[in-house]
Amino acid sequence: MILTCETSKPTRSVCIRDVTLGGQAPIRVQTMVKQPTTNPAKVLNEIRRTACVNPRDLGEREILVLKELNLWEDALRCGPFRCDITRVSVPDRDSVEPFGEIVAGSPLPVVADIHFHASLALAAMEKGCHKLRINPGNIGDPGLIREIAQESIRRKIPIRVGVNAGSLQKDLLEQHGPHSAVALAESARRSVEILENEGCRNLVVSLKANSAKLTIEAYRRMAKQCAYPLHLGVTEAGFGRAAVINSWAGIGVLLREGIGDTLRISLTEDPALEVVTGGLLLEYLGLRGEPRSG
């Protein structure tokens, strides 16, 4: 059954190399590389393999997951499935040089995934990343955040503000508790405000939890106060059927309400399965590859 969205709230357009997020662009499917960044040959092979996925090329485990969910026949009928953007971790200095090689050779736009170290964010931008994913709250030092913001403006590199329910600020946890959509949305708002104060407007926002219910509530709140593109996902979704269902429950409800510009189905399995299940979700909602009005 094909479902159409009930509402549509246009967001600002952000360009990730040659891929547009937000505005009237189609909803984009993303994945994240699971190979170590220090092995660029393996990373590039994975990116090329996930750029366009024929379900018949999946491994036995991934095919079994689709069959257990009664999705196999639909996957064959609707495939192949395309990925629009990939994310690569830059966890340490040893990853910086290989990361540059990955960016240069990737057929997909590459997002640099940075957690705590501003120096790695700056190095990833110097190596030409097409988008930067940071959590300003994890970096902490206002001077370092300012330096990242200014460099992103100079290089015209968008930033994804990625806030996670597992790493909220202490005062928000004390005020709202550890499982609060209000706290998650407020943390994202604060992080956006930090970058806006530096003149940074080329932003994408994500606010993830491992609970579909919490994820839905937090994104609903953010969508009311944010004009930036929203990246949807249920974090730490895990393994197998339960992970796909949990992700679809959270992401599907939001897409049905017209919330979200890009998504990742976060799975323990081969990222090619993330591409297939992401594409199938969009297919079932009648949103696959379709530009949006608004």
Closest CA to 251 of 265, 238, 237: 265
CA gap 16, 159 in Å, rounded: 10
If one compares 25 and 184, the residue with the highest pLDDT of the two is 25
CA distances from 62 to 75, 107, 274 (A): 12, 24, 10
> How many other β-carbons are positioned within 10 Å of the β-carbon of residue 251?
28
Least confident window among 9-13, 63-67, 198-202, 270-274: 9-13
pLDDT digits (tens, 9 = 90+) for 68-94: 999 999 999 999 999 999 999 999 999
Q: What is the pLDDT of residue 22?
A: 95
> How many other β-carbons are positioned within 10 Å of the β-carbon of residue 213?
13
Q: Which positions ≥6 away from 201 have C-beta within 8 Å?
A: 12
Please say if the pLDDT value at position 254 is more than 80: yes
Mean pLDDT score, 172-182: 75
If one compares 261 and 116, the residue with the highest pLDDT of the two is 261
Residue that has been written with the tokens 């399995």 in this structure: 269
The two counts, helices (H) then strands (E), for the chain are: 12, 12
User: CA torsion, points 47, 92, 145, 237, in degrees to nearest 10?
Assistant: 50
Domains and CATH numbers, the chain: 14-284 (3.20.20.20)
The per-residue b/e assignment along 16-54, b for 16 or more CB within 10 angstroms, e otherwise, is: bbebbbbeebbbbbbbbbbbebeebeebbebbeebbebe
* pTM, full prediction: 0.92
Query: Do residues 284 and 3 make contact, with C-beta atoms less than 8 angstroms apart?
Result: yes
